[in-house]
Structure 1
Amino acid sequence: MTSVLVTGGGERLSEVAEAIKATGAETTVVDSLDRLGEAVAGQSFDAYVQLPVAMTPRSGSLVSRVEQFLSEGLLSRFRAAETVLPALHDASTVVLVGGQTNIDVDAPDDQQARTALMRVLAHALRAERAPAHLKVRTAGPEWSGADIAASLEGGAPSEAPSAQTGDREAIGKAYADWRAEVLGLVRVEF
């Protein structure tokens, strides 16, 4: 039986978890990053689905609210992935689901920057496990729970918008170049 870890928060968590359970997979759901380390300790997973986290905006300056969005939202996904990585098999599948939007309508938003951070996380996960073949995909916020569940087995979403298809293709094609560039920064002296 396939074991799948699903993390994140908000309304989509139960929808996605139920869709994965419907495939017959053993599903572990963690809705708080505070409990993530405890939940994965001693466990092993075939797949990991990372949904956006739920956040409650705090008061303060606009700069403070944007900082919260980044640190408790987008960047917390890197910490979550780092916590989960030791519990994944070398050939596991990871699906990073986009949709982390700014919690404050007055705050500036840059969807391209958010997408770029997801790509960086995908590259970092692959590089961390190289030469093993960790499969990492990104999924857009428009993917249904069923689409996400199907992607764990290599399926495509029922209606893949061309922008998301382009993102997935770009990640795959750019990975070798990115890895060579990063590894090219390493110096070995004898």
Structure 2
Amino acid sequence: MEATVRVSRPVLQLTLALVKPDAVAHPLILQAIHQKILENNFIIVTNRDLTWSREASQTFYSQHSGRFFYQRLVEFMSSGPLRAYILAHEDAIRHWRKIMGPTQVCCARYTAPHTIRGSYGLTDTRNSTHGSDCPESASRELATFFPEFSEGAWAASGHSRGDFLYHTERQVHLVRSREAE
């Protein structure tokens, strides 16, 4: 089933969005986050559910090694299922980070209560979501979670400027074919 036709857009930026185990454990929260992504006009290029090994979590968060929260973060991120998304939007990284809200849940609850973390975050570690912080991180993180995906091929195919349809059953956007018009 297809619905919600998108209009042509300027070049889209890609970002990684992770829904962490604390949110995935609650189907209604997971669905609310998915809905928030759609309401904010992101293109969902693809998504996948996965469970991370402790080693994969350590590698991903290696820049935090030695910090007081590192071990807690590694254990938490490998404690249950995650949902990973590739999102596209004009200025996707900044826009996704704004929707997530501050990392510190206590700040998010007071300064940004309508953000994802303000609404669903439990602690600074169990704060529901992760997002890339810059284009270089986004490229590295997308390759970690979606090794079969090629940013270059996606952009070269014209998808970064395409019209999209939302496929409700698959919960992703599909490029609208010109032949369908």
| TM > 0.5 | no
Higher relative contact order (CA 8 A, sep 6+): 2
If the length of structure 1 is used for normalisation, what is the TM-score? 0.27
TM-score by length of structure 2 reads: 0.28
More strand by share: 2
The structure richer in helix per residue is: 1
